[in-house]
Amino acid sequence: MPDQPSSSSTPLSQLPKALTGIEGLDEITEGGLPLGRPTLVCGSAGCGKTLLGIEFLVRGILDYDEPGVLMAFEETAAELAANVASLGFDLPQLQADKKLRLDHVHIDRSEIDETGEYDLEGLFIRLGYAIDSIGAKRVVLDTIESLFSGFSNEALLRSEIRRLFRWLKDKGVTTVITAERGEGTLTRQGLEEYVSDCVILLDNRVIDQVTTRRLRIVKYRGSTHGTNEYPYIITEDGISVLPVTSLKLEHKVSDEVISTGVADLDAMFRRGGLYQGSSTLITGTAGTAKTTLGAAFALAACQRGERTMLFAFEESPAQLLRNMATVGLDLVPFVDSGLLRIEASRPTLNGLERHLVTIHRLIGQFKPHTVIIDPISNLISVGSISEVQSMLTRLVDFLKVQGINALFTALISGGRGQQEIAQEGISSLVDTWIHVRDLEGVGERNRGISILKARGMGHSNQVREFVVTEQGIRLLDVLVGPGGIITGASRLTQHIQEQAQQIAAGQEAERRDRELERKRRVLEATIANLRTEFETVEEELRLVNSAEQQRQQTLTEDRRQLGQNFSARPPDSANGSGA
When the pLDDT of each residue in the chain is averaged and rounded to a whole number, the result is 82
> Looking at the predicted structure, is the pLDDT value of residue 411 above 60?
yes
Instruction: Give residue 161's pLDDT.
Output: 80
The candidate with the shortest Cα–Cα distance to 297, out of 233, 369, 189, is: 369
CATH number assigned to the domain covering 6-246:
3.40.50.300
Cα 331 to chain centroid distance, Å, stands at 21
SS3 state of residue 138? strand
More confident residue, 442 or 345: 345
More confident residue, 126 or 572: 126
Tell me, what DSSP letter sits at residue 350? S
pLDDT in tens, 442-470: 667 888 899 999 998 999 988 888 989 99
Instruction: Label residue 138 by pLDDT band (50, 70, 90).
Output: very high
> Looking at the predicted structure, is the pLDDT value of residue 306 above 90?
yes
- Mean pLDDT check: name the lowest of 101-110, 141-150, 569-578: 569-578
> Looking at the predicted structure, is the pLDDT value of residue 118 above 90?
no
Instruction: Give residue 480's pLDDT.
Output: 58
Instruction: Give residue 263's pLDDT.
Output: 92
More confident residue, 417 or 503: 503
Q: Is the dihedral of CA 40, 46, 50, 56 positive or negative?
A: negative
Instruction: Give residue 495's pLDDT.
Output: 67
More confident residue, 549 or 140: 140
Count of helices and strands (H, E) across the chain: 17, 24
Partner residues linked to 311 by β-bridges: 343, 373
Tell me, what DSSP letter sits at residue 15? P
Instruction: Give residue 111's pLDDT.
Output: 47
- Mean pLDDT check: name the lowest of 186-190, 490-494, 535-539: 490-494
More confident residue, 492 or 181: 181
Instruction: Give residue 383's pLDDT.
Output: 65
Instruction: Give residue 191's pLDDT.
Output: 63
pTM over 0.85: no
> Looking at the predicted structure, is the pLDDT value of residue 68 above 50?
yes
More confident residue, 379 or 480: 379
pLDDT (mean) for 527-543: 88
pLDDT in tens, 11-58: 556 789 999 998 888 888 988 999 999 999 998 888 889 999 999 999
The candidate with the shortest Cα–Cα distance to 427, out of 455, 399, 446, 449, is: 455
Instruction: Give residue 281's pLDDT.
Output: 93
Amino acid, single-letter form, for residue 145? E
SS3 state of residue 231? strand
The candidate with the shortest Cα–Cα distance to 201, out of 173, 222, 224, 182, is: 182
- Mean pLDDT check: name the lowest of 83-92, 175-184, 485-494: 485-494
SS3 state of residue 497? helix
Architecture of domain 257-491: 3-Layer(aba) Sandwich (3.40)
Based on C-alpha coordinates, what's the Rg of the chain?
49
Query: What is the helix (H) or strand (E) element at residue 464, kind and residue range?
Result: strand 464-469
**Residues 215, 202 contacting (CB under 8 angstroms):** yes
> Looking at the predicted structure, is the pLDDT value of residue 417 above 50?
no
Instruction: Give residue 569's pLDDT.
Output: 64
- Mean pLDDT check: name the lowest of 162-176, 263-277, 321-335, 479-493: 479-493
Q: At what angle do helices 121-134 and 154-171 cross, to 10 degrees?
A: 20
Instruction: Give residue 12's pLDDT.
Output: 55
**Residues 172, 36 contacting (CB under 8 angstroms):** yes
3-state secondary structure string across 499-550:
HHHHHHHHHHHHHHHHHHHHHHHHHHHHHHHHHHHHHHHHHHHHHHHHHHHH
The C-alpha atoms of residue 304 and residue 133 are separated, in whole angstroms, by 58
pLDDT in tens, 483-496: 555 555 566 666 67
Instruction: Give residue 341's pLDDT.
Output: 95
Instruction: Give residue 442's pLDDT.
Output: 61
**Residues 270, 260 contacting (CB under 8 angstroms):** no
**Residues 405, 276 contacting (CB under 8 angstroms):** yes
Instruction: Give residue 318's pLDDT.
Output: 93
More confident residue, 426 or 49: 49
Instruction: Give residue 19's pLDDT.
Output: 93
The C-alpha atoms of residue 232 and residue 204 are separated, in whole angstroms, by 10
Instruction: Give residue 4's pLDDT.
Output: 46
Instruction: Label residue 207 by pLDDT band (50, 70, 90).
Output: low
More confident residue, 234 or 496: 234
SS3 state of residue 480? strand
| Length, in residues, of the chain | 579
pLDDT (mean) for 380-408: 81
More confident residue, 325 or 5: 325
Q: Where are the domains of the chain?
A: 6-246, 257-491
SS3 state of residue 204? strand
Query: What is the helix (H) or strand (E) element at residue 189, kind and residue range?
Result: none
> Looking at the predicted structure, is the pLDDT value of residue 271 above 80?
yes
Instruction: Give residue 309's pLDDT.
Output: 95
SS3 state of residue 205? strand
Q: Do 6-246 and 257-491 share a fold?
A: yes
Distances from the Cα of 246 to the Cα of 394, 396, 466, angstroms:
9, 10, 38
- Mean pLDDT check: name the lowest of 89-103, 212-226, 388-402: 388-402
